[in-house]
Structure 1
Amino acid sequence: MAETCCSALLLFGATGDLSRRMLLPSLYALYEDALIGPGLRIVGTARSELDDAGFRAFAHDALEEFLPPDRKDEAQLSGFLDRLEYQALDASKLDGFASLASKLGDTSGGLSIFLSTAPALFEPTIEGLRHAGLAHGNVRIGLEKPLGNDLVSSARINDAVAAGFSENQIFRIDHYLGKETVQNLMALRFANAMFEPLWNAAHVDHVQITVSETVGLEGRKGFYDDTGALRDMVQNHMLQLLALTAMEPPRDYDATSIRDEKVKLLRALRPVRPEEMVRGQYRAGAIKGESVGGYIEDLGKASETETFVSIKAHIDNWRWQGVPFYLRHGKRMAERRSEIVVQFKQVPHNIFAERGGRLRANRLVIRLQPEEYVRLQVMAKEPGLDRSGIVLREVPLDLSLTTAFAKARRRIAYERLLLDLIEGEQTLFVRRDEVEAQWKWIDAIREVWARGDEEVKPYAAGGWGPNAAIALTERDGRSWND
């Protein structure tokens, strides 16, 4: 872990929903566990006209709402709230940054910035920080998505940030990388001799990555309709899961080694053909027995924005040649689920066939949410004397991370990411060349859509997406892990 060097943490968007739900509860948890230094100041900024006391009241209400009951210790809460300060700022106006710098005071001891803002405000915010002397060599800046909406806009934002900060000062956030189970994916692959020798085209038939949601727009109408499922989820979270699943073994568990391997993998992604992709939009249906409206009704106007996308991806390298990676994401789906499924090939010869034994290929399921487990489906013989034949049945070998580490404190992703930002540890953050490799692949898909080669297909809320997404795997003789 990098040596701690930070005297203040500056939160942009401090009165927003992300701050209420994630950032303030995460910082409180770090404070309660004495994981942040006693001298660290936490300064919030946003357009809201608050003073220190007003921001502390805002934070108190947020913590009362979003902290679990067992973490609400009044003495600890009071101590944490005393750390909070606030400075109102309109980031679109340069002159306000001088007051922000004055509020922060001397930052030569180190400043960490968490920047969560609209894409249009990235450039003026960076310029304001530079103008106010808050972009010196002892500053780290964490960038919350969205970092643009295509390769060109992403590069423009990255250029603006690079004008004030070097790459080793920039921490691009993908909160999926802070999830414990995502990090366990690397431990599963690279700390166990039984998996890595089989993790290749000789033994793997295909891989599925599913991130399904039961929610609809949830107050994100304008943003979501401009963005869509492909850019909201696939471009960042799902491609990071793909990279961690398929990358070559890194030399070490460090930022450079891991990110080097991820970017090589992302650059090896083959452009997707029209017949290898499906885009959909939910219609009225039922979620857990309750009727819900369609996307058009939720949005309040006609739209061709996709709420579902399914892709058959290929990686053009030696390890994965010929192995399809099926990606699937959608809103208003049958259940909330994030998982990676590695489907192994069938054994080359069934010695039980003449005795009636039927085999199914082994399958490894890595569930990220809502449960956290690793499940290996293996074949076993049913007990009996076998006079009428051998009966083989698929049984699970389960590792429930929740059960196995029941005594360990479960931490949300932003706790780890904020602590790593403060301490300067970049391993779980995304490098610029990764982001641009992701956008290059996504932009090529959107170019296909722009030509009109892929219409938006309807699907009923509460299902698993359009029929065409089922056909995407079925025509290859495969099935989604539903």
Structure 2
Amino acid sequence: MVIFGGAGDLARRKLFPALYSLHRNQLIDQRFSVLGVGRSERSADEYREIVRDSINRYARVDVEDEEEWSSFVEKFDFVSLDVKTPAGYQRLREAVEERERRYTIPGNRLFYLAVAPELFGPVAARLKEGGLTESDGWKRLLIEKPFGRDYPSAEDLQAQIAGSFKEEEIYRIDHYLGKEMVQNIEVIRFANTLFENMWNNRYISNVQITASETVGVEDRASYYDRAGALRDMVQNHILQILMMVAMEPPSRLKPEAIHDEKVKVLRSLRRWRGDDVKRYMVRGQYTGGYLQEKEVPAYRDEENVPADSDNETFVAGKLYIDNFRWSGVPFYIRTGKRMEEKATEVVIQFKDVPKNLYFNKTNDLGPNLLVIKINPEEGLSLQINAKKPGTDNEVVPIVMDFCNNCQEESPEAYESLIHDALEGDRTFFTRWDEVSLAWKFVDPIRQAWDQEGADTLTFYEAGSNGPKEADALLIQDGFRWHSPYNPRTGSVVHGSPIGD
């Protein structure tokens, strides 16, 4: 495994801890080697100290046996080179081949690009020019997001990489797809007749997808102010979750069959342009406020953010999938920074029972909800209506709940993704046609906002649930955003359809 950016923040926070967890759980072959690549000069011992510090600070498992630790960390070494120049790749090839001989590795090479996006294409080309893509085993390329800045730039990047790697050798990471409950969506749907038979527009009134963060822009201002929430979250994470929720059952449990069904969702996704963007999409930016009784600054007051920035930190939208299963069902999405609570979740709201019946004379029954909690709580809750104990006919909502991480910590997303890449399983990586169609959906929205400028920007107070314009998207349809049941606090879902 060759990690470009081998001593960077991603490697320290995510990759080293993931590799160590895989090693401890015996999910990685003992004949492995990791070569970190970077510009700084480092000895093997210095690099191994970085790895140890990473494990001590960020790993979910502690080092308990020094002998076992030594057997793990001795597999790490470092190569100093400038990735923009061809000269260093000959030294890298020699280092790779020497490690393969030492550990009898059969030429299997995994190249991880934990570097700036503008280096993805040049590094892929240099790997081929330096002979590193030629071996007796397999070769695979792992790429972090963002994959392009829009469709034309993504297409250019794809062309550069395709000169060195085949599509089946390219693993584009969306770390949301490594999360336990995102991967569980397929099982919840297709392994339960109860849900799959009702997973359509006859029984579901709306779907809500939320990815909210309490943090601000932090140290990502230079990137984030050019990207915004639309590119940073909607184009990849939100649309990936939408595809998992809305896809048809695959013809077989093979990666290509699953990707085929996901692509069909994007092809059926109604695209917004011009006035449609004003009607169905909302963007916002946080102002100063309070989070957990602590005062936080406005986005424009954050370090390295221009004082007149009109970049969005919040996006909400109403989407439609124009196919037989989902015709007429609104998919409401929202994502934002400096929100009231950190939560990634999917809420499936089923249609109401008929009004004015015996149990619904006052038309105030809460809806049946299936809530898929992705992060930080992981689990599943189903809200139904039942008679309140001790009363004649008072109906109250009750929740049946499953908590996936209450008793035992779930594996980190990067553990699952690195393991899948080593096994050659591309199920939870993004295929090129998914990336391209996602950009084709997002680009017209971005263009409409750019043309209108600051006039399209709304504002919301830090520590709130976003701008009121996002609430209006649902209110006009008779719905409202849901905050789901929390298994740790026992609080029941609130929010219900708004009466006439």
Q: TM-score range by the shorter chain?
A: over 0.9
Offset from partner CA, 1:97-140 (integer Å, 9 cap, x none)? 11111111166621111112212212211111011111237211
Residue 292 of structure 1 deviates from its aligned partner by: 0.3
Separation (CA, whole Å) in 2 of partners of 1:461 and 1:67: 31
**What is the TM-score normalised by the length of structure 2?**
0.90
Indicate whether 1:373 and 2:379 are aligned.
yes
How many angstroms apart in 2 are the aligned matches of 1:385 and 1:438?
Answer: 52
Q: Which segments of structure 1 move beyond 6 Å, counting only runs of 4 or more?
A: 354-357
Q: Counterpart of 1:465?
A: 466
Within 2, Cα distance between the matches of 1:354 and 1:93?
72
Is there any run of 5+ residues in structure 2 with no aligned partner, and where?
101-105, 484-500
Q: Report if aligned partners of 1:363, 1:377 keep a CA contact under 8 Å in 2.
A: yes
Query: Aligned-pair distance for 1:359?
Result: 2.3
1:57 aligns with 2:36: no
Q: Could you report, residue by residue, the CA deviation over 1:13-54 in whole angstroms, capped at 9, with x for unpaired residues?
A: 111111111100000111112211111111111222212122
* Distance in 2 (alpha carbons) for counterparts of 1:336 and 1:288: 12
Please, which of 6, 12, 17 is the counterpart of residue 4 of structure 2? 12
In the TM superposition, residue 451 of structure 1 has moved relative to its aligned partner by 2.3
Specify the alignment match of 1:119 in structure 2. 117
Which amino acid is 1:131 matched to?
E
Show the counterpart of 1:4: none
Amino acid at match of 2:482: N
TM-superposed CA distance for 1:57, in Å, is: 1.3
1:398 to 380, 396, 401: 401
Paired with 1:449 and 1:385, the residues of 2 have a C-alpha distance of: 54
Counterpart of 1:334 in structure 2 is 340
Q: Which moved more, 1:104-113 or 1:203-212?
A: 104-113
The residue type equivalent to 2:446 in the other structure is: R
Distance change >3 Å, CA 69–CA 95, structure 1 → 2? closer
How far is the alpha carbon of 1:146 from its aligned partner?
A: 1.2
- In 2 relative to 1, CA 284–385 (structure 1 residues): closer, same or farther, beyond 3 Å? closer
Q: Which residue identity is paired with 1:440?
A: K
Change (3 A) 1:205 1:355: closer
Is the contact between residue 19 and residue 415 of structure 2 (CA under 8 Å) also seen in structure 1? yes
Deviation of 1:252 after TM superposition, in Å, equals: 2.1
For the residues of structure 2 that align with 1:357 and 1:348, how far apart are their CA atoms? 9
1:425 CA displacement: 1.1
SS in 2 for 1:321: coil
CA contact (8 A) 1:259 1:431 kept: yes
Instruction: Give 2:281's match in structure 1, choosing from 262, 277, 294.
Output: 277
Among 21, 24, 27, which residue is 2:16 paired with?
Answer: 24
Q: In structure 2, how many angstroms separate the alpha carbons of the residues matched to 1:266 and 1:55?
A: 43
1:222 offset after TM fit, Å? 0.2
Q: Percent identity?
A: 42
Q: Number of aligned pairs?
A: 468
Partner amino acid for 1:67? A
Deviations, residues 439-467 of structure 1 (Å, cap 9, x unaligned): 10010111211221761111110001111
When residues 32 and 364 of structure 1 are mapped into structure 2, their CA distance, relative to the original with a 3 A threshold, is same
Matched letter for residue 25 of structure 2: D
Residue aligned with 2:74, SS: helix
Could you list the per-position Cα deviations for residues 163-218 of structure 1 after superposition, in whole angstroms to 9, with x for gaps in the alignment? 11111111111111111111111111000010011111111100000000000112
| Separation (CA, whole Å) in 2 of partners of 1:28 and 1:267 | 40
Q: Tell me if the contact between 2:221 and 2:305 (Cα under 8 Å) persists in the aligned partners.
A: no
TM-score for the superposition, normalised by structure 1: 0.94
CA contact (8 A) 1:338 1:370 kept: yes
Deviation at 1:238, TM superposition (A): 0.7
Distance (Å, rounded) in 2 between the aligned partners of 1:153 and 1:57: 38
Look up the match of 1:129: 127
Letter in 1 for 2:159: D
Once residues 281 and 131 of structure 2 are traced to their aligned partners in structure 1, the CA distance between those partners, rounded to angstroms, is 47
1:70 Cα deviation after fit: 4.3
Matched residue, 2:480? 479
Q: Are 1:413 and 2:413 an aligned pair?
A: yes
Q: Deviations over 1:385-412 (max 9, x none)?
A: 52xxx21001101111225xx46x6210
* Aligned equivalent of 1:223: 223
The answer (yes or no) to whether the contact 2:55–2:62 under 8 Å persists in 1 is no
Contact 1:333–1:461 (CA<8 Å) still a contact in 2?
A: yes
Where does residue 492 of structure 2 map in the other structure? none
Match of 2:351 among 345, 355, 361: 345
SS of equivalent residue, structure 1 residue 343: strand
Distance across 2 between alignment mates of 1:286 and 1:377: 31
Preserved contact between residue 178 and residue 428 of structure 2 (Cα < 8 Å): yes
> Secondary structure of the equivalent of 2:405?
helix
- Paired position in structure 1 for 2:85: 93
Q: Aligned partners of 1:168, 1:354: CA distance in 2, in Å?
A: 54
Task: Report the Cα offset of residue 357 of structure 1.
Answer: 8.2
SS of the residue aligned with 1:447? helix
Distance 2:63 2:382 in 1: 35
Map 1:376-391 to 2 at 5 A.
376-384=382-390, 386=392, 390-391=393-394
Q: Is the 8 A contact 1:314 1:323 kept in 2?
A: yes
1:69-104 Cα shifts (integer Å, max 9, x gaps): 645443332221111011012111122111111111
Q: Which residue of 2 aligns with 1:48?
A: 40
* Aligned residues of 1:352 and 1:358 also touching (Cα < 8 A): no
Q: Distance in 2 between matches of 1:90 and 1:384?
A: 74
Task: Tell me the distance in 2 between the aligned counterparts of 1:226 and 1:257.
Answer: 35
Shift of 1:242: 0.3
Partner residue in 2 for 1:304: 310
Kept in 2, the 8 Å contact 1:212–1:330? The answer is yes
Higher relative contact order (CA 8 A, sep 6+): 1
